[in-house]
Structure 1
């Protein structure tokens, strides 16, 4: 079976112009082109188009999809299985959010305390989703899906009290980092080790487990990634490097 540009575009619910563009950028070439210049697509191209549109729905850019489909190690079934698992997780999160919103809308004043917890759950869902959007791809590439999913689960399982302690610890880490860096404290000093230990506690709370090598690798990433370096430097260059060295010394001593 063969499809013209118009036929396949109509079948997929996209414009013929989009299909031609996919050909131009090397994302989806036709099965062959007639002597008159008409593009014709077969069943294999139709299946590839379905995959492209599927990955677009997941938020991948066209360049990322092209690289994925061209990768010699690409396993269509495994990739779809992995994405199905992530879609199920997203559906579960959306269902929890919808349930919370419905309860807020249906609630009366006597349920105010309960609603605060429900709203906090919504906040955690949004926080995890935002972290996944900003850092998920890098985290999953470096540490794997299991580690990323475990970290997300640890955050979602936090109670309000746990989360308050978590954020308070983060603020204390920044405060102590500022003080030690300003004082020129050696990275192997007892106070520096205390800072690394607090960072370990904070990391364990967010990851759900602890791995010294991963801790050191994460701290090294603070220096090379502009987002993290700016967060820890906060206008004073060198703080992120100092924290990296403190954590490196700490993890080597474990």
Structure 2
């Protein structure tokens, strides 16, 4: 199957499939003399595995390490996917039950204890903060959190609105070449914006863009503004970082 056919079959963008190829995550078994990627049955089976891992929140780099391992066994992986998805379904069922009870409680049909109102929630850790600390260190994260906490509530709301406005602007441009004047002007605004909250050098900015596509948590949130936005931002941020070099 050609890349466009795979894109339409699976429901992911051609740009994403190209990215998987470029990082060695899913390399098509054949490429024609004209440069067209051709995906085999084995390629499609591996793509299914990749998407299972994505659904479970695995970063792309970790998925690549897993499937490239000599110990990787497709059948064992499917059994693992099944167990993990059942656990995820169980947590979601618990959350749905809490929502349904809350609706009835709001209508005055039932009473809920304080514990019941929060059943299914788990805020024991912040994965974004943990990821940031690993990449940029405690000092940078504490500085960022301190700046955010020092802002009054209205200031924090305005900060969030500005961020969303930039995301929407970039989403409108995501089908343009990342190196285009319009794309680079918009991603430059994102760079300036981030530096109001912390200190991002061009290489850190590039690394952040890479994390947008490697970490499904970021990809899912960013792509809410438009499918493929995370990948577009990653590419535009890389170009931007390159152009800051003397």
TM-score by length of 2: 0.47
* Larger fraction in helix: 1
TM-score by length of 1: 0.45
Structure having the higher Rg: 1
